[in-house]
């Protein structure tokens, strides 16, 4: 490790660590970014997991929140080669009858496709889509008084509802199933409070700009962020896994892109007893089991809309999704799990050799599960795309332990950095005046274990950097994008 002295050190190069490092460097500080692995990016990595020439996103794949991030929008990432591709259908949700609900940029067209629920869908989403530019900074932020309280209340009241309650606004199975699939991104039982929030955010993003994927793979986002950080004068070191504070160079502030479990291992002896107690009580959520495929041909979905979608939600009806997610949260492995699938190569030819394709999918599993879910996931794809299995020419799987080994922030396979239920939505990782401060002056958390939580948006890192800039350096934070 470099013997130089830095103003600030950031540990971990996931999207939040990169956002924190950039925000600190923008303020004129000398910043060192440390990454334990040989490659930067955390969950933003792409590799040939199956066969040569087939490039797979190891973790995150589709990036509506990255493209819409209030902080990332302030950065000139396109000049470092980042290009987003927007599929014509953001998300498709097939049903057993061969039809599918599809979400496209046009809110009116999406609503029209939902038949009897067209008016209810428009009534719910239209005002939120219109007000999003004014409330995005408040939604993707720690708890505070919003700049536009009425617009925020219009979003917040339905967002606090369990998804099973919000869907009572709909009559038909298409709208109910579609929203249940969106809400299942919360990775918790859909009867829980706040599970509607992620569903609403994802639908708003779809109607404001679609669900983009980065050309060449998710690694392109990390590469652009790293390039910008270096262009600002930042220093990067890889292969430096921090296990204790003694390993760190001298700095006035250290920001950790880690979750409570790792922070306790690294800095536990420096933290107050009550803060340690709070961190030990932090709860992790369900894990995921992931499969990547190299395919001879594209997935032959029965419903035409699925063949134009970057993301496909495989769960059939709301009742089936609700039952499966509840069973998983109780430690079970349902025969028909809810599956999130991405088919990037349909729109990005750099992902596979000419004429061939890739696909990416995962299902939720109990935290720490080692059960092989490959057959169950492939059965769900085959259910809506007969002949899918015949097209598989390569396969790669990751269970919860392998995911955690790849990225220690995925404790037990939890890709959200901790359960995002009502008790941890605003107080993650502990109930404090600032969720980014630890009990030790100069030490901060900037990971998805802090508000606003999981997702590739960098806002946890931005707000942690802003807190450190004010506390330690008495400097203003870089301004956020204002629409």
Q: State pLDDT tens for residues 46-88.
A: 999 999 999 999 999 999 999 999 999 999 999 999 999 999 9
Q: How confident is the model at residue 427 (pLDDT cuts 50, 70, 90)?
A: confident
Q: How far is CA 319 from CA 163, 181, 314, 340, in A?
A: 12, 11, 13, 17
- Is residue 270, in this structure, part of any structural domain at all? yes
**Domain-embedded: residue 411:** no
Q: Is residue 217 part of a domain?
A: no
One domain for residues 344 and 448? no
**Are 296 and 334 contained in the same domain?**
yes
Residues 153 and 296 in one domain: yes
383-387 average pLDDT score: 98
In this predicted structure, what is the pLDDT of residue 481? 53
% of the chain with per-residue pLDDT over 70: 99
Q: What is the pLDDT of residue 333?
A: 98
CB 407 within 8 A of CB 415: no
What does the DSSP 8-state code read for residue 249? P
**pLDDT, tens only, 196-253:** 999 999 999 999 999 999 999 999 999 999 999 999 999 999 999 999 999 999 999 9
Question: Does a structural domain hold residue 62?
Answer: no
Domain containing residue 439: CATH number: 3.50.50.60
Structural domain ending residue among the three candidates 406, 425, 450: 406
- Confidence class for position 479, pLDDT limits 50, 70, 90: confident
Based on the fold, state whether residues 136 and 208 are members of the same structural domain.
yes
Beta strands in 61-157 (DSSP E): 84-85, 89-94, 100-103
Non-local (6+) Cβ contacts of 209 within 8 A are: 64, 67, 68, 86, 105
In whole angstroms, what is the distance from residue 7 CA to residue 31 CA? 6
Single residue among 406, 433, 460 that ends a domain in this structure: 406
- Residue scoring higher pLDDT (146 or 331): 331
Please tell me the predicted confidence (pLDDT) of residue 393: 98
Q: What is the DSSP letter of 268?
A: G
Q: What is the DSSP string of 464-483?
A: HHHHHIIIII--PPPPPP--
Looking at the fold, whether 298 and 444 belong to one and the same domain comes out as: no
Q: Are residues 247 and 386 in the same domain?
A: no
Mean pLDDT of the 270-277 span: 96
Whether residue 67 is contained in a domain is answered as no
Residues 326 and 393 reside in one and the same domain:
yes
Residue 220's closest CA among 210, 231, 212, 208? Answer: 212
H helix and E strand count, the chain: 16, 16
pLDDT at 2 exceeding the cut of 60: no
Cα–Cα distance measured from residue 439 to residue 186, given in angstroms and rounded to the nearest whole number: 29
Q: What is the pLDDT of residue 422?
A: 87
Q: Where a domain ends, among 372, 406, 440?
A: 406
Same structural domain, 192 and 302? yes
Same domain for 249 and 308?
Answer: no
Domain that holds residue 352: 84-212+285-406
Please check whether residues 396 and 450 belong to one and the same domain.
no
* Same domain? 292 vs 147: yes
**pLDDT at 483 (0 to 100):** 37
CATH code of 107's domain? 3.90.660
Q: Is residue 56 part of a domain?
A: no
Average pLDDT, the chain: 96
| pLDDT level of residue 145 (50, 70, 90 thresholds) | confident
Taking the alpha carbons at both ends of the chain, their separation in whole angstroms is 41
Task: Verify that 29 and 122 share a domain, yes or no.
Answer: no
Q: Give the total number of structural domains in the chain.
A: 2
Whole-number pLDDT of residue 1 = 58
Whether 47 is covered by a domain: the verdict is: no
Of all residues in the chain, the percent with pLDDT exceeding 90 is 93
User: 395 lies in a domain?
Assistant: yes
Cα–Cα distance between 100 and 356 in angstroms, integer? 25
pLDDT for 478: 76
What does the pLDDT read at residue 482? 45
Is the model's pLDDT at 262 over the cut of 50?
yes
């Amino acid at each position: 490790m470099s013997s130089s002295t830095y103003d600030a050190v950031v540990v971990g190069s996931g999207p939040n660590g990169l956002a924190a490092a950039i925000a600190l460097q923008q303020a004129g500080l000398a910043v060192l970014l440390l990454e334990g692995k040989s490659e930067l990016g955390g969950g933003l990595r792409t590799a040939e997991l199956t066969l040569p020439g087939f490039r797979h996103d190891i973790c995150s794949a589709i990036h509506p929140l990255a493209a819409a991030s209030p902080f990332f929008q302030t950065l000139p990432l396109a000049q470092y080669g980042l290009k987003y591709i927007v599929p014509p259908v953001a998300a498709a949700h097939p049903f057993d009858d061969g039809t599918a609900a599809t979400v496209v940029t046009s809110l009116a067209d999406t609503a029209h496709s939902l038949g009897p629920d067209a008016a209810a869908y428009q009534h719910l989403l239209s005002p939120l889509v219109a007000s999003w530019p004014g409330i995005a900074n408040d939604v993707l932020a720690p708890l505070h008084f919003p700049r536009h309280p009425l617009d925020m209340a219009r979003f917040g009241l339905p967002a606090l509802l369990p998804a099973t309650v919000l869907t009572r606004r709909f009559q038909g199975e298409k709208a109910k199933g579609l929203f249940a699939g969106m809400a299942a991104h919360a990775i918790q039982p859909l009867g829980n409070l706040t599970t509607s929030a992620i569903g609403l955010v994802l639908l708003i993003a779809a109607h404001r700009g679609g669900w983009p994927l980065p050309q060449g793979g998710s690694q392109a986002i990390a590469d652009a962020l790293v390039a910008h950080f270096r262009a600002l004068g930042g220093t990067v070191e890889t292969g430096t896994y921090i296990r204790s504070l003694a390993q760190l160079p001298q700095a006035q502030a250290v920001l950790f892109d880690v979750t409570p479990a790792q922070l306790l291992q690294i800095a536990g002896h420096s933290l107050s007893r009550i803060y340690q107690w709070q961190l030990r009580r932090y709860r992790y959520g369900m894990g995921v089991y992931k499969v990547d495929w190299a395919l001879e041909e594209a997935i032959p979905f029965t419903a035409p809309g699925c063949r134009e979608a970057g993301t496909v939600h495989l769960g059939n009806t709301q009742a089936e999704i609700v039952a499966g997610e509840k069973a998983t949260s109780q430690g079970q492995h349902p025969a028909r799990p809810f599956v999130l699938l991405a088919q990037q190569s349909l729109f990005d030819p750099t992902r596979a050799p000419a004429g061939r394709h890739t696909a990416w999918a995962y299902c939720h599993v109990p935290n720490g599960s080692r059960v092989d879910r490959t057959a169950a996931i492939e059965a769900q794809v085959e259910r809506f795309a007969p002949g899918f299995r015949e097209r598989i020419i390569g396969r790669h799987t990751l269970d919860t332990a392998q995911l955690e080994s790849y990225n220690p922030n995925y404790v037990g396979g939890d890709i959200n950095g901790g359960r995002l239920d009502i008790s941890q939505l605003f107080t993650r990782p502990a109930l404090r005046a600032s969720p980014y401060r630890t009990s030790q002056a100069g030490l901060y958390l900037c990971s998805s274990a802090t508000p606003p939580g999981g997702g590739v948006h960098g806002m946890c890192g931005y707000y942690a950097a802003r807190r450190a800039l004010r506390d330690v350096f008495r400097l203003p934070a870089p301004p956020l994008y204002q629409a």
